[in-house]
Amino acid sequence: MGVVVQKFGGTSVGSVERIRRVAERVAAVHAQGKPCVVTVSAMGKTTDQLIELARQVSPRPPAREMDMLLTTGEQVSIALLAMALSELGVPARSLTGWQAGITTDGIHGKARIQEIDTRVIRECLDRGEVVIVAGFQGKTATGEITTLGRGGSDTTAVALAAALAAEVCEIYTDVTGVFTADPRVVPRAGKMDEISFEEMLELAHLGAAVLHPRSVECAMKHRVPLVVRSSFVDEPGTWVKEAKDMETERNVRGIAHDMHVARMKVLGLENRIETLSRLFGILADAHINVDMIVQSEHDAERVDVAFSVHEDEGEVAKGVIEAHREELGYLKVLYETGLAKVSAVGAGMVSRPGVAAKMFAALTDAGIRIKMVSTSEIKISCVIPRDRAVEAVRELHAAFGLDVTADEMAGAVTKGVG
């Protein structure tokens, strides 16, 4: 029988009472005789609290020691969930990342899973035990403890599902599925029954915050059947599947936003063939994820390059560029925070012209200044001032006809409660 992999996020295990409810949900699957592997995050705000503790000790703690510190959060969760299952009479065994055979590369703070040796997990499943694996963590080949970065528990779950050829990977979270926009920002956002891997990937990258982008990549690559569901409400959730299996009737499927964007402008770079590759090579070496890139050529001698990064990495990126000033040969660096990114996403977009025009018009009509633009086959993103972002998301959601009607909303509420 196929293995079921379930992942519960920090909110879902945020208290003893909630851990008990997760245990009941897992016990129900176990009672059906299904082999069950569960991945959990750290309880509630634990990770943030540990980060704050580290910050009090050192403004820039070594990444290796941050991993040592942060991995304790998930270890607490897995132990408590195993206890809760045991209290229900369900045999359960918790495993840290290294115990579960998860090997990663050595990039502390954002390691990538290289291999999962599933022998220990299989042995536990063969004995009829529920296996509870600490999300977000692994071990390098030389025995160092690593973390996969924020949202890494999703990646752990999907990677385990892939390695175990699971029949489904269920991601339990504090929302009932993937919405056309963040329902906290857009009251008229509606839940999607299904979404393609590609769309989900764009939404994940764009800060929709339901699934970690790497987990979507991994699911897409290994064709892992994935569903996002609520751990609090018994609803079908949103299936993430291959585009060819879907009916896409709308060109724009959702509006995503990311509230933590910083922009860097490197002005007056020498205009050589290797300029761009050298600049972004240096940033890649520092493990900085660059998002949008815009290049503008002044003349034969000089170019300006602007790019956006996550706000948390802005200072580091600036430092790295300043440290390589001589090598890069630029005139000036400008750094701007307080920005946000809003994006329209949809696999149907590629075949419908005018989406970009409609997006710019909506933002312009609202008097919102567009600072950067980038496009892909299935999305258009604009960087705008953060203090206008909420308004922008609502305007775009309405402009692309995504707002649900009052009747639909009433229906959704009834369904949610039932």
Residues found near its own copies in the complex (CB under 8 A): 16, 19-20, 50, 53-54, 56-58, 61-62, 64-66, 68-69, 71-72, 75-76, 78-80, 82-84, 86-87, 93-94, 96, 98-99, 120, 143, 145
Nearest-angstrom CA–CA distance, 369 and 249? 30
- The minimum distance between CB 58 and its own copies, in angstroms, equals 4
- The minimum distance between CB 159 and its own copies, in angstroms, equals 20
Other Cβ atoms within 10 Å of 273 Cβ, number:
7
Alpha helices (runs of H) in 235-354, residue ranges in sequence order = 275-285, 311-323, 325-328
174 is in an annotated binding site: yes
CB 304 within 8 A of CB 267: yes
7 is in an annotated binding site: yes
- The minimum distance between CB 138 and its own copies, in angstroms, equals 14
SS3 state at 19: helix
Which of left, alpha, beta for 165 (phi over 0: left; psi -120 to 50: alpha)? left
In the complex with its own copies, the residue whose CB is nearer, 134 or 355, is: 134
- The minimum distance between CB 383 and its own copies, in angstroms, equals 34
- The minimum distance between CB 44 and its own copies, in angstroms, equals 12
- The minimum distance between CB 330 and its own copies, in angstroms, equals 32
Nearest-angstrom CA–CA distance, 3 and 162? 10
In the complex with its own copies, the residue whose CB is nearer, 82 or 185, is: 82
CB 341 within 8 A of CB 278: no
In the complex with its own copies, the residue whose CB is nearer, 24 or 387, is: 24
Sign of CA dihedral 254, 233, 216, 306: positive
- The minimum distance between CB 127 and its own copies, in angstroms, equals 14
47 is in an annotated binding site: yes
In the complex with its own copies, the residue whose CB is nearer, 46 or 196, is: 46
In the complex with its own copies, the residue whose CB is nearer, 102 or 169, is: 102
In the complex with its own copies, the residue whose CB is nearer, 66 or 292, is: 66
- The minimum distance between CB 76 and its own copies, in angstroms, equals 5
Q: What angle do CA 8, 14, 20 make, to 5 degrees?
A: 75
Quick one: which of 234, 253, 235 has its CA closest to 195? 253
CB 251 within 8 A of CB 349: yes
9 is in an annotated binding site: yes
184 is in an annotated binding site: yes
- Spatial neighbors of 394 by CB under 8 A, at least 6 apart, are 185, 186
| Paired residues of 137 in beta bridges | 147
Helix (H) or strand (E) holding 248: none
- Spatial neighbors of 257 by CB under 8 A, at least 6 apart, are 181, 182, 185, 206, 207, 340, 341, 342, 343, 389, 392, 393
8 is in an annotated binding site: yes
- Spatial neighbors of 404 by CB under 8 A, at least 6 apart, are 188, 189, 190, 412
Alpha helices (runs of H) in 286-366, residue ranges in sequence order = 311-323, 325-328, 355-365
In the complex with its own copies, the residue whose CB is nearer, 19 or 399, is: 19
Nearest-angstrom CA–CA distance, 363 and 343? 11
Q: Read off the tokens for 240.
A: 């993430």
- The minimum distance between CB 8 and its own copies, in angstroms, equals 15
Phi/psi of residue 303, nearest 5 degrees: -130, 155
Specify the pairing of strand 168-173 against strand 226-230: parallel
In the complex with its own copies, the residue whose CB is nearer, 53 or 141, is: 53
In the complex with its own copies, the residue whose CB is nearer, 76 or 209, is: 76
SS3 state at 290: strand
- The minimum distance between CB 104 and its own copies, in angstroms, equals 15
10 is in an annotated binding site: yes
In the complex with its own copies, the residue whose CB is nearer, 143 or 418, is: 143
Annotated binding-site residues for substrate read: 47, 74
Annotated binding-site residues for ATP read: 7-10, 173-174, 184
Annotated binding-site residues read: 7-10, 47, 74, 173-174, 184
